[in-house]
């Protein structure tokens, strides 16, 4: 089990450090429907990560990469491709960063996020966790790498649950803090939102770079061994 948790841990942290989804859930917590929309967004987030990670793991494990060199190589080449995509995203994000003194912007879909209905909050959580390129690539990378280890199913499932919990922590904590923190929570979350907005591009560039290199580096030993 320790081997499985070690495999998914850094990827889970990478998913958790997601400035735009964190900003999105904070904006929902400033709305009139905060007590419904925040938990609904979290539910969508958790559901998407669970479905994607479990589906990719069982697909990878079914190919039996621990005993099949062909399947193992296929997954390793898949990691190389995922890593290359993340490195491309790092370059793209760095190039579009705001110029010195320029106010950073957020996606246009955030403009009315504080007024969306609970169903849309759920759907947004699903999309940002399961379709957002960074989170999708990291989730696939974690689950595919886990599938290469040849673990017992129980150990792999526990590792995936740990992945979902850690990857969801930065969404769950603001929701829980809002529900119990009162006015103090509002002020703290406002400061957090401002910091994430200012440093979003820098944070994302570093994440794309680090995890792109990690995926490629992890794939090299199986391909050259």
CA–CA distance, 11 with 162 (Å, rounded to integer): 11
Check residue 215 and give its pLDDT: 83
CA 142 to chain centre: 11
For the chain, how many structural domains are there in total? 1
Q: What is the pLDDT of residues 151-207, one digit of tens each?
A: 898 999 999 999 999 999 999 999 999 888 877 888 888 898 888 888 888 888 888
- The residue range of the domain holding 100 is 2-224
Q: Is 153 exposed, middle or buried (0-12, 13-18, 19+ CB in 10 A)?
A: exposed
Is-contact 197 104, C-beta < 8 A?
yes
Contacts of 58 (CB under 8 A, 6+ apart): 147
**DSSP reduced 3-state for 81:** helix
The whole-number pLDDT of residue 1 equals 65
The per-residue pLDDT for range 3-51, each reduced to its tens digit, is 889 989 999 999 999 888 999 999 888 888 888 999 999 999 999 999 9
Task: Compute the distance between CA of residue 23 and CA of residue 78 in angstroms, rounded to an integer.
Answer: 31
Position with higher pLDDT, 29 vs 68: 29
Task: Return the DSSP state at 20.
Answer: H
Residues of the chain with pLDDT > 90, as a percent, come to 40
Report whether pLDDT(89) > 80. Answer: yes
């Amino acid at each position: 089990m320790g081997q499985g948790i070690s495999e998914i841990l850094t990827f889970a942290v990478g998913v958790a450090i997601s400035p735009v989804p964190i900003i999105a859930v904070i904006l929902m917590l400033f709305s009139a429907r905060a007590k419904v929309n925040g938990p609904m967004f979290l539910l969508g987030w958790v559901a998407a990560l669970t479905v994607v990670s479990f589906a990719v793991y069982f697909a990878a494990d079914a190919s039996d990469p621990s005993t099949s060199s062909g399947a193992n190589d296929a997954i390793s080449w898949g990691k190389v491709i995922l890593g290359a995509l993340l490195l491309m995203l790092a370059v793209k994000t760095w190039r579009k960063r705001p110029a010195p003194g320029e106010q950073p912007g957020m996606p246009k879909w955030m403009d009315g996020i504080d007024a969306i209905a609970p169903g849309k909050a759920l759907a947004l959580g699903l999309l940002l966790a399961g379709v957002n390129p960074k989170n999708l690539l990291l989730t696939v990378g974690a689950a595919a790498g886990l599938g290469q280890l040849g673990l017992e199913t129980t150990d792999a499932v526990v590792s995936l649950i740990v992945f979902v919990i850690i990857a969801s922590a930065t969404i769950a904590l603001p929701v829980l803090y809002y529900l119990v923190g009162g006015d103090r929570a509002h002020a703290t979350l406002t400061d957090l939102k401002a910091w994430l907005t200012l440093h979003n591009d820098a944070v994302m560039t570093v994440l794309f770079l680090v995890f792109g290199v990690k995926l490629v580096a992890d794939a090299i030993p199986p391909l050259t061994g």
